[in-house]
A and B are shown apart, each in its own frame.
Chain A
Amino acid sequence: MESSPDQDKPSVVQRQRVDTIEFYRHYGRLRDGRLQVDFAALTLPDGLKTVSTGYGRNTLQLSGGTVIPELQAHTLGALFQTDLLDFTLIDLGGQDTKIIQVRRGRMQDFLTNDKCAASSGRYLENMAQVLGISLAELSQYTEAPVELSATCAVFGESELIGKIVEGYPIDRLAAGVNATIVQRVLPLLRDFSSEVLVFSGGVAQNVAIVRLLAQSSGAQVIVTPDPQFNGALGCALAAEKNII
């Protein structure tokens, strides 16, 4: 990310996504308890400010970098991506659900899932695999959802297989999977009422879930332009604006 005098906010110069296991296998190695990143192999120039976030925050320290709390990164990312100051942010990622109440541009309160990752991207991936369809196709269905247990991803999977055996069509099964995610998220929103819900994380790419969420919450749902990079953009912004 860089700033220029004729723009009122910084712009993104380059972005790149590396899967977790690939990253740790090829680009990072542990030295003296700190994670050293091979920036050259990532085709990134040396000497840039580095800010990291995520689970690694309290597990590994990035050598030569700064770490910021994940919820702060997401808040900054959403502020940058939406230019709003008052909203409730919903971030549904691979394993996590985060609900952050933002008022006057600051994190006011938050809720996250604890042990259970039932309403996450990982759940959607598993269910799409069981249905034998892509995530893109899964995200097309909202009508007449089959009833699925909203309690557990593992139970949900066996339940879905049961519904397949009962002969329900793919569109209703897929709608059921999407509705399950919304059912899980709604109770978390109960205490964080807001007219505007900003939606980020990989799950925000599922348009069926966006539509169901808007219907059941009655709020305006705004998906960030770059939902999967929200936390990363927050980190870049923290470095660019010297917040850290």
Chain B
Amino acid sequence: MIGITTTVPVEIIYAAGEIPVDINNIFIADPDALQRIQEAELAGFPRNVCGWIKGLYASAINQPEMERIIAVTQGDCSNTQALMETWEMQGKEMIPFAYPYDRDREMLQLQMAKLSERLGADWAQVEEQKQRLDRVRALAWEIDRLTWQEDRVSGFENHLYQVSCSDFNGAPEAFAEEMRAFIRRALHREPLSPDAVRLGFIGVPPIFPQIYDFLAEQGAHVVFNEVQRQFTMPFPHADLLEQYREYTYPYHIFARIADIRQQADLRRLAGIIHYTQSFCYRQIEDIIIRRQLPYPVLTVEGENPMGLDARTRMRLEAFVTMLRERA
């Protein structure tokens, strides 16, 4: 078992015969997630640090069998370096991985080669794993299509299956089977109301997934989950390096914005929710997002896994009401 702090070229981990575990998923699925935050704070993490970082820290510490962690030091979170240093102090083996900010092909190739060498995977095996995982990804793409094109999949289901593509739940074929069964069920459902307010959700996955059901109760349908969709590598490239260059999330924001604009038009969005964590550098990027996206944007901030607070509910409801009245 190898922990990962976000999406990495997971083909390399599978090629090395290892099982990747996205620590974010362990944390957020933990019924005592809030307890993990408190443990990290007791260990000395400041209160004004992102809840995901604290949750990741304690979740990995609570898994002694997770001896090695691949930590993304560039292209994800600016706190990861200190996070990996605190893990290292606790005896975990750290494997850094950096997405080059400028998407430089050679730099990315070097990073992937170093990771393969460290884990003992050879490149032919890595290419084989790409074929294997692309077959699973195709099912996630179909779930995404059923969300925006046929209105048969809810925003939460869309989020859940796509976000799971960071590690394929550690068992790609079983996960594929789960998705096939879900698709069969979804195809037999009645489509959701065509009158729903079509929303996009951009930014990191939310620390309160309850947001999706709340929005559905307000008569909105989230038909686009930006980063979760990116986790499914929705660009069928034969070349693995190009696949991870086209992946927008870890590079500069303007490529993300181009992707968001294209998908927002395609999926006929009425408005966009920009989610950021409290105390995250991505709050600064909100300036650019608001300027460059020609859509109504509501910025929502989450801190800890405590569900939706009253203020956020009030704001979401007002946003949906406003979009409905505009239509």
A72 touches B321 (CB 8 A): yes
A27 adjacent to chain B (CB < 8 Å) = no
Q: What are the interface flags for B278-317 relative to A under an 8 Å C-beta threshold, 1 for contact and 0 otherwise?
A: 1000000000001000001001110100000011111101
Chain B residue numbers with a CB within 8 Å of A191 are: 290
Are B321 and A69 in touch, CB under 8 angstroms?
yes
A216 at the A/B interface (Cβ < 8 Å)?
no
A107-B325 CB under 8 A given contacts A114-B300, A115-B303 = yes
- In the assembled complex, how far is the CB of residue B262 from the closest CB belonging to chain A, in whole angstroms? 24
Among residues of A, the one whose C-beta sits closest to the C-beta of B315 is A112
- A69 and B311 in contact, given A107-B322, A109-B296, A114-B301 (Cβ under 8 angstroms): no
Chain A interface mostly helix, strand, loop or mixed?
mixed
B318 at the interface (CB under 8 A from A): yes
Q: From A59, which residue of chain B is reached at the shortest CB distance?
A: B310
| B317 touching A55, Cβ below 8 Å | no
A106 within 8 A of B: yes
Minimum C-beta distance from B279 to chain A (A) = 10
CA distance A57 to B214 in the complex (A): 13
**CB–CB A58/B318 < 8 A:** no
Q: Give the residues in chain B near A115, CB-CB below 8 Å.
A: 278, 301, 303, 311
Known pairs A69-B317, A70-B318, A115-B278; A55 contacts B310 (CB<8 A): yes
The answer to the question of A96 belonging to the interface, with a C-beta cut-off of 8 Å to chain B, is yes
B310, B319, B325: the one contacting A58 at CB < 8 Å is B310
**Chain B nearest Cβ from A67, distance in angstroms:** 10
Q: Give the most central of B303, B315, B325: most A CB within 10 Å.
A: B315
- A71 contacts partner chain B, Cβ-Cβ < 8 Å: yes
Q: Distance (Å) between the CB of B77 and the closest chain A CB?
A: 19
Residues of B within 8 A of A57 (CB): 313-314, 317
Q: What's the nearest-Cβ distance from chain A to residue B307, in Å?
A: 12
Residues of A within 8 A of B318 (CB): 69-72, 110, 112
1/0 per position for B235-270, CB-CB distance to A under 8 A?
000000000000000000000000000000000000
Give the CA-CA distance A79 to B250 in the complex, in Å: 46
The answer on a CB contact under 8 Å between A110 and B322 is: yes
CA distance A59 to B313 in the complex (A): 9
Which of B313, B314, B322 has most A Cβ within 10 Å? B314
CA distance A114 to B301 in the complex (A): 7
- A112 / chain B contacts, CB cutoff of 8 Å: 311, 314-315, 318
Instruction: Give the distance in Å from the alpha carbon of A69 to the alpha carbon of B325 in the complex.
Output: 13
Of all chain A residues, the one with the shortest Cβ separation from B300 is A114
A42 to B283, CA, bound (A): 45
State the A residues within 8 Å of B (CB). Answer: 55, 57-59, 69-72, 96, 106-110, 112, 114-115, 191
List the 7 closest A-B pairs by CB distance, nearest first: A58-B313, A71-B318, A114-B301, A55-B310, A69-B318, A69-B321, A69-B317
